């Protein structure tokens, strides 16, 4: 068996295979081996949330409109389940993982990172991974693929290499051999808007992406910061910290909206997030809270959830400052995915009475200054996205 170096962290990325369809098959075994999808039953409205492997073989995929799916496979069976069933099996999945480590970071409802460094001192990580995979299938009924690597990014990349029911070890020294031949679109985090541009300019594989001769061309698409970020991740220089509390601040305020339609326009996303940001600021004002950390959450039509945060230097309760951060997070991390949920949250909170002494009447903006900043922000967005993209009026700020 190939082992990871003894000084490395050993991290598993456990990724359920067709999770929603697997849960449906547990509840109705007659679905096993059938061509079916998860979505709204008896309707041409909405999108495919997930598809069985048999349906995928016929061209059905997540985020496809149900109308298109029926056009492609007229006898497609569409199944709808209450979300509580998925949550139930999500908890069964996590409970089993907790038997192997206390360091578990939930990435979404159907995937998690597990630090098994300590346990691997007694048992080979491949044996541990295989045991988890077999137990999840036999005891819970959920098939999964597992990546084993020294960083979170490489573990995620490894788990995608063999599906369904695969296990892959990816060491830093094997990155060029295993990852470089893959299509550039397989890089985790490269958006659907970006990789076609790379392919168009003959950057076809991850190996091409890593070539020095393509550096300036790629930077022109991604920017220096994002380019350096991706390269360092591929080289195995990214985080190896599995943090169970990464997205669970004890003191926070958040709100989210689940939509009955696909949200995929950046202008519409910012319009919805602006209303949520206003609601957050209203709650902060009522409780006299100030924040330094802002988080935006996206959930795709596949129920994949991504939360991204940014911390600012000074505490604020200023709508324009907070929404400016929200906008930056969207522009940096949203890549044209079809979304079903949006959310905004603030954390790292402090009460006004507990603010450091340097926060006084001379540093905190007045109401007139806040209004002026908001107007500047609105003007900026209307110039960028059109006059109807954002509305300036209290009646438009209310959550629907």
DSSP symbols for 227-251: HHHHHHHHTT-S-----TTTT--SS
Does 188 share its domain with 165?
A: no
What is the mean predicted confidence (pLDDT) over 248-270? 80
Does 46 share its domain with 154?
A: yes
Does 136 share its domain with 2?
A: yes
247 lies in a domain? no
Last residue of some domain: 151, 172, 193?
172
Does 147 share its domain with 260?
A: no
Asked whether the predicted pLDDT for residue 230 surpasses 70, the reply is yes
pLDDT at 360: 43
What is the mean predicted confidence (pLDDT) over 134-150? 97
Q: Of 11-15, 96-100, 349-353, which gets the smallest average pLDDT?
A: 349-353
Does 183 share its domain with 168?
A: no
What is the mean predicted confidence (pLDDT) over 21-28? 96
- CATH of residue 195: 1.10.150
Question: Could you tell me which of 254, 277, 257 has the C-alpha nearest to residue 377?
Answer: 277
Does 298 share its domain with 211?
A: no
Q: What is the pLDDT of residues 152-210, one digit of tens each?
A: 999 999 999 999 999 999 999 999 999 999 999 999 877 777 889 899 999 999 999 99
Number of structural domains in the chain: 3
369 catalytic residue (yes or no): no
Q: What is the pLDDT of residues 26-42, one digit of tens each?
A: 999 999 999 999 988 88
Q: What is the mean pLDDT of the chain?
A: 85
Does 2 share its domain with 112?
A: yes
Domain that holds residue 306: 252-397
243 lies in a domain? no
240 lies in a domain? no
Q: In whole angstroms, what is the distance from residue 192 CA to residue 356 CA?
A: 44
Does 95 share its domain with 80?
A: yes
Q: What is the pLDDT of residues 50-76, one digit of tens each?
A: 899 999 999 999 878 889 999 999 999
Q: How many CB atoms are closer than 10 A to CB 180?
A: 15
- The residue from 54, 68, 111, 272 that is catalytic is 111
Does 206 share its domain with 259?
A: no
Beta strands 339-347 and 289-300 are: antiparallel
Does 311 share its domain with 204?
A: no
239 lies in a domain? no
- CATH of residue 103: 3.30.70.270
244 lies in a domain? no
């Amino acid at each position: 068996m190939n082992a990871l170096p003894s000084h490395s962290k050993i991290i598993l990325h456990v990724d359920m295979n067709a999770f929603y369809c697997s849960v449906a098959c547990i509840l109705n075994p007659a679905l096993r081996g059938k061509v079916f999808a998860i979505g709204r039953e008896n309707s041409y409205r909405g999108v495919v949330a997930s598809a069985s492997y048999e349906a995928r073989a016929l061209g059905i995929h997540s985020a496809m409109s149900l109308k298109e799916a029926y056009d492609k496979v007229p006898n497609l069976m569409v199944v709808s389940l209450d979300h509580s069933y998925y949550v139930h099996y999500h908890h069964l999945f996590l409970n089993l993982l907790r038997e192997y480590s206390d360091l578990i970071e939930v990435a979404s409802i159907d995937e998690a990172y597990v630090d098994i460094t300590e346990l691997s001192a007694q048992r080979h990580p491949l044996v541990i991974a295989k045991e988890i995979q077999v137990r999840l299938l036999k005891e819970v009924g959920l098939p999964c693929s597992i990546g084993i690597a020294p960083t979170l990014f490489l573990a995620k990349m490894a788990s995608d290499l063999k599906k369904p029911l695969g296990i892959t070890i990816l060491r830093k020294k094997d990155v060029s051999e295993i990852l470089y031949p893959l299509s550039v679109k397989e890089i985790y985090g490269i958006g659907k808007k970006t990789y076609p541009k790379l392919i168009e300019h003959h950057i076809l594989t991850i190996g091409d992406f890593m070539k020095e001769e393509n550096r300036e061309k790629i930077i022109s698409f991604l920017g220096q910061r994002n380019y350096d970020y991706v390269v360092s991740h591929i080289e195995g220089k990214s985080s190896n910290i599995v943090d169970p509390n990464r997205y669970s601040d004890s003191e926070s305020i958040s709100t989210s909206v689940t939509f009955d339609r696909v949200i995929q326009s950046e202008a519409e996303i910012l319009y919805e997030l602006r209303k949520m940001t206003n609601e957050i600021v209203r709650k902060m004002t009522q409780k006299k809270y100030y924040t330094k950390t802002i988080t935006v959450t996206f959930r795709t039509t596949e129920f994949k959830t991504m939360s991204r945060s940014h911390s600012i230097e000074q505490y604020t309760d200023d709508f324009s400052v907070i929404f400016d951060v929200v906008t930056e997070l969207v522009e940096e991390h949203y890549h044209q995915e079809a979304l079903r949920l949006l959310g905004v949250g603030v954390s790292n909170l402090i009460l006004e009475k507990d603010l450091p002494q340097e926060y006084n009447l001379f540093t905190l903006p007045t109401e007139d200054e806040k209004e002026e900043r908001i107007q500047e922000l609105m003007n900026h967005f209307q110039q960028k996205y059109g006059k109807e993209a954002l509305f300036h009026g209290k009646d438009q700020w209310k959550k629907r």
